[in-house]
A and B are shown apart, each in its own frame.
Chain A
Amino acid sequence: MPNLARLLAHSYDEDPDRIAIHLLETRTTQELTWRRLIEGAAGYAAELKTANILPGEVVVLILQHGEALITSFFGAMLHGAIPAIMPFLTEKLSPEQYRHSLAALIEITRPAAIITCPEFEGQVRQASPEGSSVRAVLLSNQVVPRVSPKLADLPGYARSPGDICLLQHSSGTTGLQKGVALSHQAVLNQVEGYGRVIHMTSDDVVVSWLPLYHDMGLIAGFLMPLLCRAPLVLMSPFDWIRAPQKLLQAVSRYRGTLSWLPNFAYNFCASKIRDRDLEGLDLSSWRAVINCSEPMRWPSHRVFLERFRAYGLKPEALATCYAMAENVFAVTQGGIDEAVTVDQVDSRSLVVDRVARPAQDGADSLQMLSCGRPIPSTRVRLLDDQHRDLPDRHIGEIALKSDCMLTGYFNRDDLTAKAFHDGWYLTGDLGYLADGEVYVTGRKKDLIIVGGKNVYPQDLEELASQVAGVHPGRVVAFGVFNEQAGTEDVVVVAEADTDDPAERRRIADDIRLRVTRGSDVALHFVQVVDPRWLHKTSSGKIARTANREKYLAEQAA
């Protein structure tokens, strides 16, 4: 029976000196062969065994993007444990808040072990005191590779296809309490099915800067290429955000064929790279640049193509994908065998009638970028509020059923039960179907997606409420799309009693600082308003959509 540990071991056995990952570090490059990966991983597996961690138990990884993160992830799998990658603490995040998030994760996920680096040991121990589920804290600098390990004896070999192989969390207190549990079979079905759609082979070269704690980075930008034995060129998001040209330089140098990017990255690359950093680059090997994980915009594709066409970027390389961790990764794919469909729809009809009618000449219209067709074995339906099927072009909630669905939210049967209706997973995304292709128009749930990262507004509101002078609970957070950046700006509106301008400014500054230090999310606009400015629902909750509209109306006035 196949499982991930066996497949990884198989690659090692067959061709141990083949390069699996070109790991681009800030100044140097590490060539990670299968031997180096698996022997490193076997070191972690041995340490987990010594620490009496059992197969099937969760191991949380808190490590910087790099070799230790990769080998410890595979080490947990070789041991048959369930790895879960937690975002690394950045300097702007306050240690107290990070411990709070970590404690939230530990409480629900109940990991048996945490693997981290020495600098982090203190934080981790404080968040996992005596009596918590954590029985071992392993430090990456104390783990040594095992030369020529006997892989077939490791417990990871015995895992069944239905066993959970990894957990995937979104960030923030809310996201960390909701781990998506995926089975070996689900991951393998996704890799097989999606791989076929994008014609992925071992001749491909994947280039990625995406973080591994995110589904796009973990699946498309890491596990898929490794399982297909396509070389992976991996850089850190920390490096890329400071030097976006590194992505294009890597594509040119390694003859990269595939990359996945969130929408904002198209705008970011197009507007922030100097000509001199592009000199001599050849991007003609890039056969698919796949837009995924936040709302996709046609103008973002256009500026990207305009900027890089002169360097060999092919127009047909632009592709789209609709994905979510709950389906392992891809739900649909567009732009591989034919150009991405751009659907010109009537704006008024979309908003007023909730129907995406093809635009007539002269009417206000909107260009919708198709997400493409569902991948094989994933079925998509569009449902109305009573969960009845909608006709083509009618906007409703996207629901899906597949052979790569999550097993459940880990230790959260309540959330799992709520997420399904009659065996169909309710995505919370709104969209429509037209000629078999899926279009996403918005979200039913209150969720902000900034730079491809899911942010739960309640986490930001909770943090802003802690600022002195703010009415607790009288705060709202929401996203506003920024066309130029190609992603959402995060806005917080808070009620305060004071009308002193200096005091209001102090409150606004404190909110910015508190939210950034508490969530690693930078606020773009903070507005301090009078008491009773915010709309509440009949049940007394802050109505995010209504307040967002009120804010936008005031801005426009």
Chain B
Amino acid sequence: MPADIAESLTQYLTTQILKDPARTLLPDEPLISSGLVDSFSLVDLALFVEDTFGVHIDDTELASRVFDTVAELAGIIRQRQV
């Protein structure tokens, strides 16, 4: 597994959510507001984050005003890991 949080998130998103491993995903690319990650996949993302990093993302936080990019989500994870 990649050591870096952002890298690990990117890999999960491209392979498991977008089903397109060849796709590059920029750290500041909008995920939720753009519809790239649709609402059906948000629970999966939260489950992955909890299982992988031991960080709980509440269902009320699954919204673009809380995080909308890989960089922002990685930031939240780092903050909560402390």
Contact = CB atoms under 8 A, between A and B. Distances in A.
B55 interface: no
Nearest to A519: B35
Contact of A272 (B23, B36, B47, B60): B47
Contacts of A524: 19
Interface string B1-30: 000000000000000000100110000000
Contacts of A451: 40
B35 A513 contact: yes
B72 to A, nearest CB: 15
Contacts of A244: 43
Given A91-B64, A242-B59, A525-B19, A516 B40 contact: no
A505 B62 contact: no
Contacts of B22: 505
Contact of B39 (A242, A505, A513, A525): A242
A92 B35 contact: yes
A39 interface: no
21 contacts: A26-B60, A27-B60, A91-B32, A92-B33, A238-B39, A241-B39, A241-B40, A241-B43, A242-B42, A242-B59, A242-B62, A272-B43, A274-B47, A485-B40, A505-B23, A512-B36, A516-B35, A522-B35, A522-B38, A522-B40, A524-B19
Contacts of A512: 36
A485 B41 CA distance: 11
Contacts of A229: none
Interface size class of B (residues with CB under 8 A): 10 to 19
Nearest to A26: B60
Contacts of B62: 242
Nearest to A268: B40
A239 B64 CA distance: 14
A520 interface: yes
A524 B18 CA distance: 7
Interface in A250-297: 268, 272, 274
B1 to A, nearest CB: 21
Nearest to A513: B34
B38 A516 contact: yes
A373 interface: no
Interface string A486-509: 000000000000000000010001
A520 B39 CA distance: 10
A517 interface: yes
A525 B35 CA distance: 14
B15 to A, nearest CB: 14
A243 interface: yes
